[in-house]
Amino acid sequence: MKKKMVIIPIIAVFAAAVIVTAVLFICRFTRQIEFTDNLPMNSVLTTEQALEDFDYIYRKISENHPCFLDGSGIDKTLAAEYEKQRQVLESDSEITVKSLWRSASVMCHTLGDAHTIVTPITDEYAEDWNVITGGTVLSVDSVPCGELLEDFRTIFSYEPQVDFYADHMFGQIILQKSYLELLGIDTSDGVDYELQTDSGVVTKHCGFVSEIAAESESGRICEYTTDKEHSVGILTLYACDLSDEYKNMLAKFFADIDEYGIENIAVDLRENGGGNSLVINEFMKYVNVDEYRVFGGTDVRQGGKLKYYASELEKNKKKDNVFGGNLYVLTSNYTFSSAMDFAVAVSDNKIGKIIGEIPGNMPTAYGDKLTFQCPNSGLLISVSYKKFHRVDSTKDELPLVPDFPVEAGSAVDKLYDIIAG
């Protein structure tokens, strides 16, 4: 049977939203911990070292993940894959950090949990990132992207209800040295990217560097624009970071909205992979709403118990210049974790409308992670210890479906069309 060709477009503004960043910082809340560098991918481990790390990974999941207590049966699927992959490692004549990582990733994949994932802490990135992102990657070292993607979907952690998230993230990880090696590409002397560009198909040879661009082209985590003529203000968040920069930007943005009498605002989360969910509460202070819910309840793993915490009704601590006009949120398939929660809070509390694409994970899903480091390889294992429930329980099994579904790149145009009536 002829395989369908897959080509992967990559958007430059996502440059720093790479997997390592995702693992360390993309979640509803993250504890900041210092880790040491992992061993290089081709480092050889003894069988005892590899099995010690593999058992450590499984033990940390079993000790902390809600699926072992929530009756979902996912724990049994995980246990079966654990036994299978452990046998794979035991029978391997030479176990490298890469092969350990692969077995661990295949095991974690069975959870269907985008927040529970094994990764290296150190990585390198295609040195001509901006050149590569200016085209569409067709193949890497003559291996079609379709074949690489097919393999990637078996080892990456994502929620099966929104499996397109894996396809989206693939467009970024093929610019990462460690993931290319995991997918069987020899990166020792760089790689050749075959690109579809405006001027035709070209091949670009790239080495790898340890650093890439900042989180956005502007170097900011957030920025805004105002259009007085059309009465539109757009606040763009590249990360859910409850920083002074964010708080100051909110104050300036809403001060301008108030001064110019702007009637429509949009929060652009299309390039936001998550972070701290408290950015939602900070934003709501400027919106004319008395109360709202961020989550519909939370299951929390506490040792051998799973405790349910009912939904909290947030009493809004409103600022003086609250906004009472039309609120929209722009989303993409990349919108993830706390950024997705932001959009759900606006939608399920009926505070505003969503424009764009279904976000990259489910409103009701596992999240909030604990991160550990394997004793021998130095690989990281991030494990969810909570399960969040959607505010609107009637949609508990559904993703966030936009009120105005359009391709992410057309979301701003759609915003203006809606305002124009």
Domains of the chain, by residue range, sit at: 8-209, 222-420
Which pair of tokens denotes residue 55?
């058992």
Inform me whether the pLDDT recorded for 6 exceeds 90.
Answer: no
Alpha carbon distance 106, 102 (integer Å): 6
What CATH number belongs to 222-420?
Answer: 3.90.226.10
Inform me whether the pLDDT recorded for 86 exceeds 70.
Answer: yes
- Per the CB < 8 A criterion, the answer to whether 300 and 366 are in contact is no
Give the residue-averaged pLDDT of 133-160.
94
Map residue 229 onto helix, strand or coil. Answer: coil
Q: What phi and psi values does residue 301 have, to the nearest 5 degrees? A: -75, 120
Question: What pLDDT, on the 0 to 100 scale, is given for residue 133?
Answer: 73
Give the residue-averaged pLDDT of 20-45.
65
Map residue 13 onto helix, strand or coil. Answer: helix
Give the residue-averaged pLDDT of 308-319.
95
pTM over 0.95: no
Question: What pLDDT, on the 0 to 100 scale, is given for residue 33?
Answer: 63
* Residue range 156-212, pLDDT digits in tens: 999 999 999 999 999 889 999 999 999 999 999 999 999 998 889 999 999 999 876
Say which residue, 421 or 31, is predicted with more confidence: 421
Inform me whether the pLDDT recorded for 51 exceeds 70.
Answer: yes
Map residue 176 onto helix, strand or coil. Answer: strand
Helix crossing, 47-64 with 74-91: angle to 10°? Answer: 170
Which pair of tokens denotes residue 305?
């118990």
Give the residue-averaged pLDDT of 320-332.
96
Alpha carbon distance 349, 109 (integer Å): 32
Inform me whether the pLDDT recorded for 243 exceeds 60.
Answer: yes
Which pair of tokens denotes residue 404?
């105005």
- Per the CB < 8 A criterion, the answer to whether 384 and 67 are in contact is no
